[in-house]
Amino acid sequence: MDIEFDDLIIKVFNDNPQPVKTYMVSFDVSNLEKLYELLIEFFYKGLNIKYGNNIVNLSGEKFIEMNSYMKSIGIIVHHEKYTNCDFMHNFKIYKDINSNNLEDYKYYFLINGVYYIIYFTLL
C-alpha cells in the first residue's frame, strides 16, 4: 500500500510506538544525502507531533521514545549531546559529506545552549 510521506508521519507518530519494522517503507531518493534529508524531516515533524513546537526540554527519555517510533519504520536514530561548541572543530555538516555510509551524515541543532547531533542507521 502506498502512502504519502506526510500521511505516514502522522500515522506513525499519532499512535503508540509499534514494533521494529512495522511499517515497510522505501524512499525514492537518488543518494544518501537525500535520504538523510528525508529522515531529518521525518524525525523533526515527528518531534512536533509528539511534543509540539516546545522541544526546548528535549530529554534522553524523549529521544528514547522517538527512537522507538523511528525503529517502527526500520531506522535507528542516534544522538550526541554537547554543552559547548568544541565538537565543531571536527564536525562536518551532512551537505559536506560524500560517503556510502548513512551514519556519516550528521546534523546538529542548538536548544537552550545544548548542541544535539543527529544521525541514523538502517535496520
Nearest to 15 by CA among 40, 50, 47: 50
Instruction: Say if residues 25 and 4 touch (Cβ distance below 8 Å).
Output: no
Residues of the domain holding 110: 5-122
What is the structure's pLDDT at 96? Answer: 81
Nearest to 12 by CA among 22, 29, 59, 118: 22
- Number of independent structural domains in the chain: 1
Q: For the beta carbon of residue 6, count every other beta carbon within 10 angstroms.
A: 11
**pLDDT tens for the 123 residues of the chain, in order:** 567 889 999 999 999 999 999 998 888 888 899 999 999 999 989 988 998 866 666 677 888 899 999 999 999 999 888 877 777 777 777 888 888 899 999 888 887 788 888 899 999
